[in-house]
Structure 1
Amino acid sequence: MSDSAQGLIEHQPTPTAPDILRGRWVRLRTLVALRWAAVFGQIAAIIVSITLFSLEINIGLAAVAIGLAVIANLVSITVFPKNARLNERNAIAMLLFDTLQLAFMVFLTGGLHNPFMVLIVAPVTVAATALSTRATVIVGSVAIAATTAVADFNIPLHTQGGETLVMPDVFVFGIWVAVVTSIGFLGLYTRRISSELQSMSEALLATQMALSREQKLTDLGGVVAAAAHELGTPLATIKLVASELVDELDANADLRDDATLIGQQADRCRDILQSMGRAGKDDMLMKSVPLVTLVEEAAEPHANRGKTLEIAVVSKLNDPSDEPIVARRPEVIHGLRNLIQNAVDYAATTVWIEIDWTPDDIKLRIIDDGRGYPPQLIGWIGDPFIRGRKSQQDKGQRREYKGMGLGLFIAKTLLERTGATLSFANGTEPYTGRPHPREKSGAIAQVLWLRDDDGIEQAPAKGGLGENLLFG
């Protein structure tokens, strides 16, 4: 590898997962493979044109055009590592080269009278799929300019008998319109689909990270509880010995004070371990809990954020002894917690969490007294990275959040993985856009599980939830 090539590779920033997902990095091997396909296709087209259709083609200039593409590929695979990734600038340069090389080949073979002119759309499609909107516009603009240029300036196709192959002007104009329209439409369409896929990939990555964090916290609680259990005996021994030393050291006040201090610090260690281990006991509550308890756990982090949280079983027909026992799964807790957080963020004073169950389903409704969902966005709730123009009233609120719909997307994705169906609505019709404190007039998020084998409900163990299990 040459020094210049090595320097170019070293100065390229290392691609990270989000960079790749956003399409700012393209594998060199991919573009090289596409160019090889174009080279062999051009060679095959020239051979067929000469042998089967007896066309006269300037072989010398065609060989120069194809040779440039071959040389570019050979340099790329020789100088750069096989696993090299191009940044956006380098990828744009390669696609522009391919566009101009194809335009030159079409210039040599009749311009828009050559049906292979439609292939100039290919580099634009690649840019729209893998690069940014800016890159797509650059490659598309050059492709349109090249198409317009070869429409007026080209070497006509001739047969070996001297006949010139031309189409009527109206057909030529139609081909130009078709190619330009295809560049714009396919570029826009492909870019739109690619952007949605990239946004979904980023959002799913964030979802996986959130779920992984929740699982790690749960596992950490178990480790802390195990430590508290294992250290209980030696701490009790230290406490006992310290107490005996205090009784035997009445004549030596300094040593007696030291022994007392040892006992106090042992008590402190015991209290700390007990406090840390409360959330990590290895019992059946780690695996299944009553429905109301699960909701309370999900709402706990938002209980002291200046808004009133009211959790209640709304139907008087519900028998407390028939309360569903549900799986205590990280995705359920994290999903409900995100919905509650969203309600607390936008509530004026109060958030209501209504719990209901029937023999057929389990239903949760999270209601606030805020302004509610903008009607134009209700159909999009649950999609990642919802962008919209914020009003002056909105700009002063929730500064700590980007407000791009990612939290609701994570909640919806996690809960749907457990078999839930989510729906969103407003508490008032028509939409007023104003909060009504202490009235159920704001946003409503409903979570519904069917009580079947695919839901979150678990059959309670005989005699209750089950006995605690010992570590070790």
Structure 2
Amino acid sequence: MTDSNTNLWHRQERSGWIRLRTLILLRWVAIIGQITAITVAQRMYNVQLDLGLCYLAVGISVVGNLIAIFIFPENKRLSEFENFLMVLFDLLQLAFLLYLTGGLHNPFALLLLGPVTISANVMGLRSTLIVGGTAIILVTLLAEFHLPLRTELGFILRIPDIFVFGNWAAITIAIIFLGAYSHRISSEVQSMSEALSATHMALAREQKLTDLGGVVAAAAHELGTPLATIKLASSELIEELDDRADLREDAALIREQADRCRDILRDMGRAGKDDLHLRQAPLTTVIHESAEPHVNRGKQVHFDEGPGEGGDLQQPSILRKPEVIHGLRNLIQNAVDFARSNVWVEAEWTTDQITIGIMDDGRGYPPQMIGRIGDPFVRRRRTESHLKTRPEYEGMGLGLFIAKTLLERSGAELSFANGSDPYQSLTDKPERRGAIVKVVWPRNLIDAQTGDNPVPTGLNEQFQV
């Protein structure tokens, strides 16, 4: 998925968040509040207002709500443009009402922040900038142009100019800050939600492949006996039909096809993982299975396994979890993608932990991005040299996010660094100057024999259809 397609998808998703009914309800609340404020100011405090124009401003909102109720269905969700028009209308209506009631001398001028905050949360950056810019222009105009508030005796209610300037500065700063803050938080929440959905889809796919391999293995096991019987019977028929050439050819064909079925099931069953003892696998087996799709992509993948200080010579058998395989596969794919010619996958175990390191001889991670590795949809400006070497690649960080999330779900801790970093001592081998990923598990969380979740022993269970 390219950046442009992702951005378009984000905008379409965000624009469909809000139902028209929700904004209509909020507008009714605003209308009731405006009528209440006008009535209280006029009757209890004897503030002289142009009631005709004030009720006209409120009436415009009432008419707009009634039109929306009778024309559109209750479950209508607003598009980006429709949402923008609704929020802009509310902003202009409120500004007109403030113009009639003292401008920035009116303490309710703070309500101008409402439409800006809604825009920042549910609309794209362009719409948010337009609404925010309009709000700032309106606040500036209201500071100078407005109808004054007058008492019953004709006195003008106003605050000192320095407080008017303070109100203008406070509202302007609040519009910028709240708009930027709300838009940023909303975007990150949406990106994280989409990335987690992609992670769940990747895990579900890996789990389905694992289950499918188990079904294939079960089929290969169950069909082995009848195929052997067919082969034996067909062999006997071949011997007995020496004088019937036509029937002997049919018997030979039956034996040949039985052998073919056996070979097909054997090949398909290699990925089977239904047996209880196959829910675990040696550490190196899991690593090689994870790397298998990427070992023949034009880069040399080197494997190195061995015990660490105090570790047993015999390698541990670990839980064969789909999230572990898929997470390691994504990390190895990333290393192969960016390596010049070599990728190293190292495994080490001790009595307390299991460590897997993945290194390459590429350019490494951009230094300014290391702290953000693992965040979804991380984008950076691509240089001209990078465009030449990787013209087809559109990295957004989603693959690393999925890998990090899945591996952390299994109990691992990940660290990212560059081999060429003079302050980094993760490797002492100068040829491994590219990106470095270290995946570390507490051994008790992933060891399939002595850990917290040992694989059960006993008879294999039948598949439930």
Fold shared per TM-score above 0.5: yes
Verify: 1:227 aligned to 2:219, yes or no: yes
Query: Separation in 1 of the partners of 2:185 and 2:263?
Result: 56
Query: Separation in 2 of the partners of 1:270 and 1:458?
Result: 32
What is residue 243 of structure 1 aligned with on the other side?
235
Contact 1:21 1:201 in 2 (8 A): no
Alignment CA distance shift 1:193-1:23 (3 Å): farther
Deviation, 1:200, is 1.3
Deviation, 1:375, is 1.2
Deviation, 1:446, is 0.7
- 1:351-407 CA-partner distances (Å, limit 9, x unpaired): 112212222222221111111112111111111112112222211234443212111
More displaced stretch, 404-413 vs 277-286: 277-286
What is residue 63 of structure 1 aligned with on the other side?
55
Equivalent residue in structure 1 for 2:358, among 356, 359, 366: 366
Aligned runs of 1:33-432 on 2, under 5 Å? 33-315=25-307, 317=309, 319-430=311-422
Query: Separation in 2 of the partners of 1:96 and 1:203?
Result: 32
Deviation, 1:75, is 2.7
Deviation, 1:451, is 3.0
More displaced stretch, 133-142 vs 48-57: 48-57
Deviation, 1:67, is 2.1
Alignment CA distance shift 1:19-1:392 (3 Å): closer
Deviation, 1:235, is 2.9
Contact 1:24 1:131 in 2 (8 A): no
Q: Which letter does structure 2 place at the counterpart of 1:373? A: Y
What is residue 449 of structure 2 aligned with on the other side?
459
Q: Which letter does structure 1 place at the counterpart of 2:305? A: V
Deviation, 1:252, is 3.5
Alignment CA distance shift 1:213-1:296 (3 Å): same
Query: Separation in 1 of the partners of 2:14 and 2:264?
Result: 45
Contact 1:21 1:202 in 2 (8 A): no
Query: Separation in 2 of the partners of 1:142 and 1:18?
Result: 24
Q: Which letter does structure 2 place at the counterpart of 1:377? A: M
- 1:267-290 CA-partner distances (Å, limit 9, x unpaired): 212211121122114223442222
Deviation, 1:17, is 9.0
Query: Separation in 1 of the partners of 2:135 and 2:455?
Result: 72
Contact 1:25 1:88 in 2 (8 A): no
More displaced stretch, 343-352 vs 230-239: 230-239
Query: Separation in 1 of the partners of 2:125 and 2:200?
Result: 27
Query: Separation in 2 of the partners of 1:301 and 1:278?
Result: 15
Q: Which runs of 5+ in 1 are unaligned?
A: 1-15, 432-436
Q: Which letter does structure 2 place at the counterpart of 1:456? A: I
Number of residue-to-residue matches in the alignment = 450
Query: Separation in 1 of the partners of 2:14 and 2:218?
Result: 42
Deviation, 1:105, is 1.1
The alignment's TM-score, normalised by the length of structure 1, stands at: 0.88
Using the aligned pairs only, state the percent identity.
56
Alignment CA distance shift 1:319-1:152 (3 Å): closer
Query: Separation in 2 of the partners of 1:419 and 1:399?
Result: 36
Contact 1:26 1:85 in 2 (8 A): yes
Contact 2:237 2:248 in 1 (8 A): yes
3-state SS in 2 of match to 1:55: coil
Query: Separation in 1 of the partners of 2:132 and 2:311?
Result: 66
Query: Separation in 2 of the partners of 1:272 and 1:18?
Result: 45
Contact 2:215 2:274 in 1 (8 A): no
Query: Separation in 2 of the partners of 1:225 and 1:17?
Result: 40
What is residue 469 of structure 1 aligned with on the other side?
460
Contact 1:288 1:465 in 2 (8 A): no
Deviation, 1:250, is 2.9
Q: Which letter does structure 1 place at the counterpart of 2:124? A: S
Alignment CA distance shift 1:105-1:350 (3 Å): same
Query: Separation in 1 of the partners of 2:273 and 2:177?
Result: 59
Contact 1:347 1:368 in 2 (8 A): yes
Alignment CA distance shift 1:357-1:237 (3 Å): closer
Query: Separation in 1 of the partners of 2:278 and 2:60?
Result: 66
Query: Separation in 2 of the partners of 1:164 and 1:305?
Result: 80
- 1:435-458 CA-partner distances (Å, limit 9, x unpaired): xx9812111111112234xx2223
Alignment CA distance shift 1:59-1:420 (3 Å): same
3-state SS in 1 of match to 2:270: helix
Deviation, 1:241, is 3.7
Equivalent residue in structure 2 for 1:27, among 19, 32, 37: 19
Contact 2:312 2:350 in 1 (8 A): no
Give RMSD over aligned pairs.
2.7
Deviation, 1:320, is 4.8
What is residue 7 of structure 1 aligned with on the other side?
none
More displaced stretch, 259-268 vs 235-244: 235-244
Contact 1:349 1:438 in 2 (8 A): no
Contact 1:19 1:25 in 2 (8 A): no
Contact 1:18 1:202 in 2 (8 A): no
Query: Separation in 2 of the partners of 1:319 and 1:197?
Result: 43
More displaced stretch, 68-77 vs 198-207: 68-77
3-state SS in 1 of match to 2:289: helix
Query: Separation in 2 of the partners of 1:358 and 1:270?
Result: 42
Deviation, 1:60, is 2.2
Deviation, 1:85, is 0.9
